[in-house]
Chain A
Amino acid sequence: MRLAWESLCRLPALDCWPVRQVLLKQLYFTGTESVMTIGLVGFLVGLIVITELNNLVGSNQSATNHVLIWVVVRELGPLIAAIVMVGRSSSAFASELSTMVINGEIKSLRCMGISPLSYLIMPRVLAMMLASIALAFYCQIVAVGTGWIVTALRLDISLRDEIFSFFEIISYREIVATLFKSAVFGVLVAVVSSYHGLRKKTAMTEVPQAVSQAVIRSLLAVFVADGVVTVLAY
């Protein structure tokens, strides 16, 4: 929590070009490079959920859209984005920061008067928060779109009617809550990974341990936060 708060307090450092450069690199690495994976997983989730649902409720358009909103929009979109980010970026953050600690690069930054929190951590937290929101939204669009198309093809329901019905059911509150949830997931994954990466280490053999801890605890943090936000928001 302290690391998250201190990162937030360092936002003015974005005025500085090298910090913005780290932010852009992290946005590319965490966000842009995950687009294909998220798209593919979103497509498969939409396909699987809607196929099972069609088998269960047949051509019940309202039930189909309700389940799409409850399962895909509220839960799976943000969760899938977070899980992909944990797999790709959490381990990368932890191993990169751990290696920097062991090589004395963090100390080197401090001796140059460069705050590791401002230069390394804050841009990572911000990038992961923004990427998490964007990727979750993208995942939701792909999964829901796939659901509509599969339903239209399999059950001969008008695609236009499905879309209208969906937007009649979904509320702004649900959209805002899922985006908020994604932002929380992004911050948690970045903070937990950075914390494990920055912990004091003396040998390279401690890097895999830090990476494994970062991944496991990031996942745990995401699921706990999901439970809390879901109970509070819905």
Chain B
Amino acid sequence: MSDMTITLQFSDVNCDKISGLSFALEAGEIAVLRMASKEEKLAAIELAVGERIPDAGTATLHGVAVHTAPRGNIGWVPENGGLISNLKVWENVTLPLWYHGRRRSAVDEGKIVQWLGALGLADEEVERFMASPAGRLTTLERKRAGLLRGLLLAPKLLVVDAGLFSGLAAELQEAWIAVLDAFVRETEDRSVLVVANGDAALPWKIIG
């Protein structure tokens, strides 16, 4: 396996919650990292997004230590959407995009409608949904907005909390799985790491 095809690599990573975690995620791949507990899952997510530095071992994104990699290259979709409650949905979904230096014009409204359609939202609902304050959304709507935010950022690595899929109707779960598959297929250098605690009924390769 050439280093150039590896997006994310953990080599014997240790922190207070995890010991000796090693895996490699290739470009164009979606994989499920299965951890033993919720605490371990959250620690693995923090390591994968660069929020935490390993006590020992290395975590690299395209060969660079994850915590020093450009942050716009890593997207994160938390279990409950992780929205900022005093912002509207459109402000939430564009926040990382604009914060990490991409201009307003980079937000393609057609793309938003397309992704939301694939995530099970009817076209006529899009405007109302995007204008809603995040604090008033239902759990499903928060999850949908969180996933949309990750997709719009179009990062090289999208880290998804597997809890995102819990509580979804089977039909919707299938649709969201298909969206992640489509997201990875859009370009050659994208990968998705789904981090789960315990068993997760997801169709992707299990690592870790």
Contact = CB atoms under 8 A, between A and B. Distances in A.
Contacts of B54: none
Contacts of B71: 112-114
B84 interface: yes
B82 A113 contact: no
Contacts of B104: 17
A111 B98 contact: no
Contact of A16 (B74, B85, B99): B99
Nearest to A108: B82
Given A103-B85, A111-B82, A18 B45 contact: no
Contact of A96 (B45, B72, B86, B95): B86
A16 to B, nearest CB: 6
A18 B82 contact: no
Contacts of A96: 86
A104 B80 CA distance: 10
Given A110-B51, A111-B78, A112-B71, A17 B84 contact: no
A110 B46 CA distance: 9
A19 B99 CA distance: 8
Given A108-B83, A112-B95, 10 more contacts: A18-B98, A18-B99, A96-B86, A100-B84, A108-B78, A111-B46, A111-B49, A111-B82, A112-B49, A112-B75
Interface of B: 45-46, 49-51, 71-72, 74-76, 78, 82-86, 91, 94-96, 98-101, 104
20 contacts: A16-B98, A16-B99, A16-B101, A17-B104, A21-B91, A96-B86, A103-B85, A104-B82, A108-B82, A108-B83, A109-B84, A111-B49, A111-B82, A112-B82, A112-B95, A113-B49, A113-B50, A113-B99, A114-B71, A114-B95
